[in-house]
Amino acid sequence: MARAAVLSLLLLAFAGVVPAQTAPSGEPAIGGGGAIPARATRLPASASQGAMVIGNTHPAAVVEYAGRTLRVTPYGSFVFGIGRDATGEAVLRIKQPATGRIEHRIAITPRDWPVERIDGVPPATVDPPKAIAERIEREQARVAAARERDDPRTGFAQVFAWPLQGRISGRFGNQRVYNGTPKSPHSGMDIAAPAGTPVKAPADGVISFADAGLYLTGGTLVLDHGHGISSNFLHLSRIDVRPGDVVRQGDVIGAVGATGRATGPHLHWGMNWFDVRIDPLLVLERAK
């Protein structure tokens, strides 16, 4: 219980909220009975491309962003992601019970995206024949469907932990060139580690997808942290969980491998807010 309170206070400090008192969960108490007055909305003034942003507002507010109505916790917290290629401002529209719709703007900080050249990849994974390309499309559609989950669990609000220790061998957002062929930007962070190294859950969640045999990503897991935030783990040599399993931060969920399109053993850890890819390294640094 004490640990949960500390984590929630860190979350609220990030969002700019300093509660006068706390509810049993550790999030800010709303107050006594009766009508709840308008409440200040807390958001950062700026956020980087690839960031996960946590805000706080009235618990009964309607929060809209990027064509979605965001889920709000009973204590007013909400979360969303800034895409790799987003520019200008992130615009949220928030309506509290005692106010009209108010527009909030967050300046998006641009980043430099270096080019990563990766050679020695099996050619069939770079330019697959038609039948394989269709298989890849079907498999990726299944993963994308898992990322659309939106439930009230709040693992996203924890201080995330590294799923394993190792050298960062690939960074989020960098342009990838496989065997000389430009491909999509890197969707996550690669962590080099020996095959068989245990992979642990970086935060609480529920397993929403597990498949040991995807063509591009090999052993693949998706761990849903709630409110549209999910982690995915690719190229696993072993999967220790099944869809529907509830896991806690630090639980072993699989092992490092080199399955799918990989030149050696490593863990690819990606994160999403629904279909928006976010940078796991920024999520780890959020608590610093």
Last residue of a domain, one of 109, 144, 162: 109
Whole-number Å distance between alpha carbons of 172 and 193: 18
Phi and psi at 263, nearest 5°, equal -100, -5
Ranges of residues in the chain with a pLDDT under 50 are: 1-34
pLDDT, tens digit, 9 for 90 and up, residues 30-65: 334 445 578 899 999 999 999 999 999 999 999 999
At 177 the pLDDT is 83
Whole-number Å distance between alpha carbons of 30 and 74: 9
Whole-number Å distance between alpha carbons of 158 and 151: 16
Q: How many domains does the chain have?
A: 2
At 178 the pLDDT is 80
The verdict on 96 and 127 lying in the same domain is no
Other beta carbons within 10 Å of 166: 17
- How many CA atoms lie within 13 Å of 63's alpha carbon, on the beta-carbon side? 25
Last residue of a domain, one of 85, 109, 133: 109
Type of residue found at 14: F
At 36 the pLDDT is 59
Residue range of the domain that includes 68: 2-109
The verdict on 136 and 76 lying in the same domain is no
At 123 the pLDDT is 79
The verdict on 37 and 147 lying in the same domain is no
The verdict on 167 and 135 lying in the same domain is yes
Whole-number Å distance between alpha carbons of 70 and 113: 29
Whole-number Å distance between alpha carbons of 102 and 254: 44
At 152 the pLDDT is 97
Last residue of a domain, one of 74, 109, 144: 109
Closest CA to 230 of 247, 208, 245, 214: 208
Please report, for the domain that includes residue 60, its CATH number. 2.60.40
The DSSP-derived string for 108-120 is EEP----EEEE--
Closest CA to 40 of 13, 8, 66, 16: 16
Other beta carbons within 10 Å of 240: 17
pLDDT, tens digit, 9 for 90 and up, residues 55-101: 999 999 999 999 999 999 999 999 999 999 999 999 999 999 999 99
pTM of the model as a whole? 0.85
